[in-house]
Structure 1
Amino acid sequence: MADTYAPGELDAARAEAQRLTSRILELREAYYENDAAIASDQEYDGLMHRLEEIEHLFPELQGQDSPTQTVGGRAQTLFDPVVHAERMLSLDNVFSIPEFLAWAARVERDSARSVHYLCELKIDGLAINLRFENGVLVTAATRGDGVVGEDVTENIAYVPGIPKRLAGTGHPPLVEVRGEVFFPVEAFRELNAGQAASGERIFANPRNAASGSLRQKAEGKNQAQLALMHARLSRLRMLVHGLGAWQNPPVASQSEMYELLAGWGLPTSTHYRVVHEATDAAGFIDHYGEHRASVEHEIDGIVVKVDELALHQELGATSRAPRWAIAYKYPPEEVNTKLLDIVVSVGRTGRATPFAVMEKVRVSGSEVRQATLHNQDVVKAKGVLIGDTVVLRKAGDVIPEVLGPVVELRDGTEREFVMPTNCPECGTPLAPAKEGDVDLRCPNARSCPAQVRGRVEHIGSRGALDIEALGEVSAAALTQPTVPAEPPLPTEAGLFGLTIDDLLPIGVVVRDAETGLPKEDEDGSLRMRTPFRRNPSAAEKKQGLTGPQPSSSALTLLAEIERAKSSPLWRLLVALSIRHVGPVAARALGNYFGSLDAIRSASREQLAEVEGVGGVIADALIDWFDVDWHRDIVDQWERDGVQFSTPGHPGPGAAAAAGGVLAGLTVVATGSLEGFTREEAQEAILAAGGKSASSVSKKTDFVAAGPGAGSKLAKAEALGLRIIDAEGFRKLLAEGPAAFEDAPAPEPEESPAE
């Protein structure tokens, strides 16, 4: 298309693509790293659709780091990483029967022969991958980013119905079985009832509960806590819904595969049906749309797959989803409730977001009393007044969304919402970040208590430094205490210099869980909590201790902060709250540069060329370090002992300059390489002076391929590239390309796949 657009059109398209990419990355960061949905599924899907349109018109704008080329999820860091032998992809969605029939028509056109469809329920749970070797369960892993997941094998052992050894015979050397872990509806209700009775957090929906239950760590728990953890895991169930790695399965269809897996003792659903026409699949969709409540688990749609396995290979997949399957998403449930108030909350990035506070109501399986209204223009567009009866639904059956008012029920007492002109937390005038922005932000990023609180909480999160005892409550206590008047952390710069003397005096106001309003004691004074101190025990008093003593939370927090000073560089990068720099980009930057100083001194071009970074993230890094108080944070952390470098890392380009054995070579590591995780393989390539690439091209020098290499291996074979196994990879790292000079390179196929 390069010769079909008018002068200046490409520049406009590039600018729009950058804006879309920035927003999509922001939404992904909020959803996958912070468990926060700051936009509806419809807004996200619309942004992705528009970016795909632009990249179709201007292919030169589509980089390998584009959101259209990557899966939105990512592996977290609480558990050990597991590399899937085959990628775990997402599913494309349709939202109407005409859209579904259009998808089926494309499938039938591309298949050029009769197609059967397998229809099954889309379970609202957590995707899981079971790896069996010679019939024995070796690992159970979450999906993660589709390539690397989290090892939850220890916990999966407590989920009933999952065999440790397959029944029957004929088990392959390696097979990956994919499924969904979930809470049955009744078990979820019992779980939340127990949570409420013990004063614990109520889970918003079964999927969150399943994820939270399966991703618990046994370490540090006492016997009673372990018993509760195992009891919760025992309420979970799993159903198999697909295959990962399985070379030459002895069946021709997905439905036959289900029968075989059931014979091996794996739990398979009984709610599936194979049909011969797309219209019959539409009938299956309509039936369960009307009978969702009859199923023993929550569903958020129907998955329709091509039943013939041979067609799976022929139809292939995009970078994110298979072309032989589609998810039909049902319209979410809708209920009416009272809009009690609209309050404005300021988040970690300074965005001022109006929230609807409603009378508690149950919708799509969980109780809801708050929903984001995004910004003042959305409030106006929805036409809601405080005091209205409003229609509430869960967008995608997950995110609470106010649709609009029931105007007929107004009685004249309703009032309009007025967006505040000043930050409700620090009083700074709100303003758009740049001209044309709809969202208002508090520009006092340095010292706005809400933003500092959010950043401190983020530092302690699993995706950043994983500091135990630094969660929501501790972050609030450290940044917004009532006593003393000046909080210990006016910014996050002082976090690593905290002492026990800083913690002991802290007092925080107790607030009502429902209203958020401060509670008062009988004398009218504000009720206070002192989270970091306790009164001495009787034994301590006998020893002469009379004053306040550090609580276990205080001691744990300080010990964890000390440990975090030597965290890996990528975790420290995530902890700095640099826009768009999440764990994936941070790992890439840390592996390549080896130190924060090297990152700070790199040019935009040097940053952008790092695999997995790109121009948007490069700009964000440069912008962040241009701010003086950002640099003050880094300087203070370093003075307090934080190590912003990787011991032994040769630095960017240093390995090549020093004669690294892979200097000037590009290597792709794919599949499961024995002795290496994906990150370890990448780091080994970099340490030897080479470039670690994620995609195969004519410029690739070596492809290290293990089981599950998939399409990358096929492309390498087509291009005639040098392909090596795990043993060869170790030889390459030790001896360089000279170790393979005597072996002839494979000949490329006549029509290499590009």
Structure 2
Amino acid sequence: MDKIIKRIHELREKLNKYNYEYYVLDNPTVPDSDYDRLMQELINLEREYPCYNSDDSPTQRVGGQVLDQFKKVEHEIPMLSLGNAFNDEDMKDFDKRVKEVVKNPRYMAELKIDGLACSLHYRNGRLYRAATRGDGVIGEEITHNVKTIRSVPLRLKKDIDIEVRGEIFMSKRTFESLNEKRAKDQLALFANPRNAAAGSVRQLDSSVAASRNLDLFLYSVPNAENLGFTSHSESLDYLDKIGLKTNRERKLCKSMNEVLDYIKTWTDKRNNLPYDIDGIVIKVDDLDKQDELGFTVKTPKWAIAFKFPAEEVSTTLKDITFTVGRTGSITPNAELEPVKVAGTTVSRATLHNEEFITLRDIRVGDRVIIRKAGDIIPEVVKPIVDERTGDEAPFKMVEDCPVCGETLERKESEADYYCVNEDCPRRLMEGLIHYASRNAMNIDGLGEKIIEQLFNEKLITSIPDIYRLTKEDLLRLERFGDKSSENLIKAINKTKDNSFDRLLFGLGIRHVGSKVANLIASKFKVVDQLMEATIDELTAINEIGEKIASSIVDYFNDEDNINMINELKELGLNMEYEVDEDIIEAEAFTEKTFVLTGTLEELKRKEAKAIIERLGGKVTGSVSKKTDVLVAGKEAGSKLDKAVKLGIEVWDEVTFLEKIKPYV
């Protein structure tokens, strides 16, 4: 039996080594036939001796695990998106903002892989969880599929706990082969490698992902300071050493001019790469400086994504149609002769508003230039006037709502026209779509098509109607079975417990985005207090101007809106801003920023962090002018030196334990 165990371990070591050489180093040392022979031997041994099976065996990559559904995963550190830059001036402005805080910054420039962002967690060196980015706070667990990606080690070269983040993608060659096969099988083709990769990762059956030959580059260690790193570049080099795959085309730049040269180089060379990139990511390299620069609500101030110039193509504008938004805004849209741009077929594009069209003299029948702004949103750039035949029809803005027929109104200070009929069917439907959306109430399974179906069947016409839906209502509809009906009702009921800020955003009050909703809800705590708020009380909140304040006051002065809020209360929805119930107001901790360094003897660092946060404090990884207290254990190093230099209060472990004693 010892001989069997020894052979299994030997095979695993060899196969892991060959995997790393082939998929990470791109330097295979054995022929495919040898690799396949060893893999089959290991599969046979594990099948014959299942007691020796292991989650980190190379055999786990072949797929076969099938899930009932994806589990939700909360990211301990949010996966924020990046701000965008589109030209050299934008980049110089970013550099200027950084230099207001950081002298002589160094920047790490990296290729922006066009794929699906994900997070990998390793415990004691073993992959135990992988998740999608989702909305940045909540993602979906995709461990069963990520295990099939051969460039992802199931076991690291060091037995450490670490979270790493990166981009799952599909190579151009794999994409072409996949679409060739789908064409032969008479299946719909994927639009581009990004869509193919995203679709592959979100398969419940891991054998599908295994067959798609996905790949992954890692680009971030979110808690790098806690692991002792002082720079982003140092953390990436470390990932290489422990067997993780990073993109080697990165460059550490000493100035913005070097960054711009790097951008120009890869703008010209990007089509020669074996995978798609949609820009360049630039990050301040020094982790302490990143901490000093900080974040906005949505993006880090120390990083930016340069987006490549959008691909432009020409096509024919066949018609201009109009859509109605949830606030009643009327948007003109271009109906186009289908044309391929940036990897996808486009047949529709936004024309923004009347002023946008008239300034450019865009006419129905024109040949027009279109592009994808930021490679995502199709837009019409301009007409090709030289190609006009004389049959083109000048644009005329509609006077009535295209859905309900109500006369449109335009406010003096705005470019948009509005349908003022609050009972307009399309306005109602768009409001419901917004309410159920990810950033609002996040009702899993209640997407746009389902809402349209329910609305057309007159099962929902208002927000409270969503919570009156029954399983029996859904079973009468096409595409709804017993399980799907039950799941949707569960998902709806689950959102009754959402924090009030999500509900406030979901109500669709004009000018109230998710950030504003959170600011207001955290200030007023409960809906009843907000309903009584005055414009002066609202504008006293930082970042809330008179326009937003007036909109909120007007909303809660409307009797129909008050009645709807009362209905939602009766249906059991939470009307309070949810803060952690365990948070205790402790004067020494509340709203203060802490850094932990060195070795604590009585507590693990994770435990100390949890206690600080429970007492209302915040823990960051590096010392800066914004740090209030440094908790220094044994063998505290450079962080202690820096704290002393900056005059920051320092507690040893005994002091820390004394401070928390009344609360734990």
Q: TM-score, normalised by structure 2?
A: 0.68
- Paired position in structure 1 for 2:30: none
Shift of residue 274 of structure 1? Answer: 6.4
CA deviations on 1:455-506 (whole Å, 9 max, x unpaired) are 222333333334344322232133334xxxxx3444334333345786688x
- 1:492 aligns to 2:492 (yes or no): no
Shift of residue 330 of structure 1? Answer: 2.4
Query: Secondary structure in 2 aligned to 1:367?
Result: strand
Equivalent-residue separation in structure 1 for 2:162 and 2:427 (angstroms)? 47
Query: Secondary structure in 2 aligned to 1:161?
Result: coil
- Paired position in structure 2 for 1:25: none
Query: Secondary structure in 1 aligned to 2:429?
Result: helix
- 1:297 aligns to 2:244 (yes or no): no
Match 1:467 to one of 439, 443, 453:
443
- Paired position in structure 2 for 1:438: 415
Structure 1: runs of 5+ lacking an equivalent: 1-76, 217-224, 482-486, 506-529, 534-549, 740-754
Kept in 2, the 8 Å contact 1:81–1:677? The answer is no
Shift of residue 365 of structure 1? Answer: 1.6
Query: Secondary structure in 1 aligned to 2:467?
Result: helix
Equivalent-residue separation in structure 2 for 1:467 and 1:496 (angstroms)? 11
Shift of residue 572 of structure 1? Answer: 3.1
Kept in 2, the 8 Å contact 1:120–1:304? The answer is yes
Query: Secondary structure in 2 aligned to 1:297?
Result: coil
Equivalent-residue separation in structure 1 for 2:324 and 2:335 (angstroms)? 15
Kept in 2, the 8 Å contact 1:174–1:246? The answer is no
Shift of residue 79 of structure 1? Answer: 2.8
Kept in 1, the 8 Å contact 2:122–2:163? The answer is yes
Equivalent-residue separation in structure 1 for 2:437 and 2:388 (angstroms)? 44
Equivalent-residue separation in structure 2 for 1:119 and 1:664 (angstroms)? 40
Equivalent-residue separation in structure 2 for 1:497 and 1:102 (angstroms)? 51
Q: 1:136 to 1:371 in 2, by over 3 A?
A: same
After superposition, where does 1:221-300 map in structure 2 within 5 Å?
A: 226-227=204-205, 231=209, 235-247=213-225, 258=236, 260-272=238-250, 282=260, 284-300=262-278
Query: Secondary structure in 1 aligned to 2:72?
Result: coil
- Paired position in structure 2 for 1:123: 113
- 1:183 aligns to 2:170 (yes or no): yes
Kept in 2, the 8 Å contact 1:607–1:613? The answer is yes
What residue identity is the alignment partner of 1:239? Answer: F
Kept in 1, the 8 Å contact 2:295–2:301? The answer is no
Identity of matched residues, %: 31
Shift of residue 603 of structure 1? Answer: 4.8
Name the count of aligned residue pairs. 579
Equivalent-residue separation in structure 1 for 2:573 and 2:153 (angstroms)? 45
What residue identity is the alignment partner of 2:529? Answer: A
Match 1:412 to one of 390, 414, 418:
390
- Paired position in structure 1 for 2:326: 348
Q: Which moved more, 1:666-675 or 1:405-414?
A: 666-675
Shift of residue 430 of structure 1? Answer: 1.4
Equivalent-residue separation in structure 2 for 1:602 and 1:723 (angstroms)? 42
Query: Secondary structure in 1 aligned to 2:563?
Result: helix
Q: 1:430 to 1:726 in 2, by over 3 A?
A: farther
Q: Which moved more, 1:278-287 or 1:235-244?
A: 278-287
- 1:450 aligns to 2:426 (yes or no): yes
Equivalent-residue separation in structure 1 for 2:452 and 2:376 (angstroms)? 27
Q: 1:285 to 1:583 in 2, by over 3 A?
A: closer
Equivalent-residue separation in structure 2 for 1:563 and 1:248 (angstroms)? 35
Equivalent-residue separation in structure 2 for 1:449 and 1:442 (angstroms)? 11
What residue identity is the alignment partner of 1:80? Answer: V
Kept in 2, the 8 Å contact 1:346–1:451? The answer is yes
Equivalent-residue separation in structure 1 for 2:657 and 2:182 (angstroms)? 50
Kept in 1, the 8 Å contact 2:334–2:350? The answer is yes
Q: 1:426 to 1:202 in 2, by over 3 A?
A: farther
- 1:480 aligns to 2:470 (yes or no): no
- Paired position in structure 2 for 1:735: 662
Equivalent-residue separation in structure 1 for 2:151 and 2:350 (angstroms)? 39
Q: 1:628 to 1:299 in 2, by over 3 A?
A: same
Equivalent-residue separation in structure 1 for 2:429 and 2:562 (angstroms)? 19
What residue identity is the alignment partner of 2:662? Answer: E
Kept in 1, the 8 Å contact 2:593–2:626? The answer is no
- 1:674 aligns to 2:606 (yes or no): yes
Structure 2: runs of 5+ lacking an equivalent: 1-69, 597-604
Equivalent-residue separation in structure 1 for 2:313 and 2:469 (angstroms)? 48
Shift of residue 624 of structure 1? Answer: 2.1
CA deviations on 1:246-288 (whole Å, 9 max, x unpaired) are 3498999876765553332211224345688877765554443
Equivalent-residue separation in structure 2 for 1:335 and 1:184 (angstroms)? 25
After superposition, where does 1:600-679 map in structure 2 within 5 Å?
A: 600-603=531-534, 619-645=550-576, 662=586, 666-668=590-592, 674=606
Kept in 2, the 8 Å contact 1:339–1:387? The answer is yes
Equivalent-residue separation in structure 2 for 1:567 and 1:106 (angstroms)? 37
- Paired position in structure 2 for 1:82: 75
Query: Secondary structure in 2 aligned to 1:80?
Result: strand
What residue identity is the alignment partner of 1:667? Answer: E
What residue identity is the alignment partner of 2:73? Answer: D
CA deviations on 1:567-616 (whole Å, 9 max, x unpaired) are 44444334322345555555565566554223323455665667997877
Q: TM-score, normalised by structure 1?
A: 0.61
Match 1:363 to one of 341, 345, 356:
341
Equivalent-residue separation in structure 2 for 1:312 and 1:669 (angstroms)? 14
Q: Which moved more, 1:248-257 or 1:487-496?
A: 248-257
Equivalent-residue separation in structure 2 for 1:373 and 1:427 (angstroms)? 21
CA deviations on 1:127-165 (whole Å, 9 max, x unpaired) are 44545566445665666788x564646354444322233
Equivalent-residue separation in structure 2 for 1:122 and 1:235 (angstroms)? 20
- Paired position in structure 2 for 1:531: 478
Query: Secondary structure in 2 aligned to 1:464?
Result: coil
Shift of residue 401 of structure 1? Answer: 1.7
Query: Secondary structure in 1 aligned to 2:409?
Result: coil
Equivalent-residue separation in structure 1 for 2:469 and 2:475 (angstroms)? 11
Shift of residue 126 of structure 1? Answer: 3.9
Q: Which moved more, 1:324-333 or 1:228-237?
A: 228-237
Equivalent-residue separation in structure 2 for 1:136 and 1:199 (angstroms)? 40
Kept in 2, the 8 Å contact 1:493–1:632? The answer is no
Shift of residue 323 of structure 1? Answer: 8.2
Equivalent-residue separation in structure 2 for 1:264 and 1:236 (angstroms)? 21
Equivalent-residue separation in structure 2 for 1:632 and 1:726 (angstroms)? 56
Shift of residue 378 of structure 1? Answer: 0.8
The CA RMSD measured in Å over matched residues stands at 5.4
Equivalent-residue separation in structure 2 for 1:197 and 1:621 (angstroms)? 56
Q: 1:105 to 1:460 in 2, by over 3 A?
A: closer
- Paired position in structure 2 for 1:4: none
- Paired position in structure 2 for 1:164: 154
Shift of residue 232 of structure 1? Answer: 7.6
Kept in 2, the 8 Å contact 1:141–1:149? The answer is no
Equivalent-residue separation in structure 2 for 1:150 and 1:725 (angstroms)? 36
What residue identity is the alignment partner of 1:674? Answer: K
Q: 1:719 to 1:110 in 2, by over 3 A?
A: closer
Q: 1:468 to 1:105 in 2, by over 3 A?
A: closer
Q: 1:435 to 1:669 in 2, by over 3 A?
A: same
CA deviations on 1:163-214 (whole Å, 9 max, x unpaired) are 23322x5x7x665544333333344567778999999998766556656765
Q: 1:618 to 1:731 in 2, by over 3 A?
A: farther
Shift of residue 639 of structure 1? Answer: 3.6
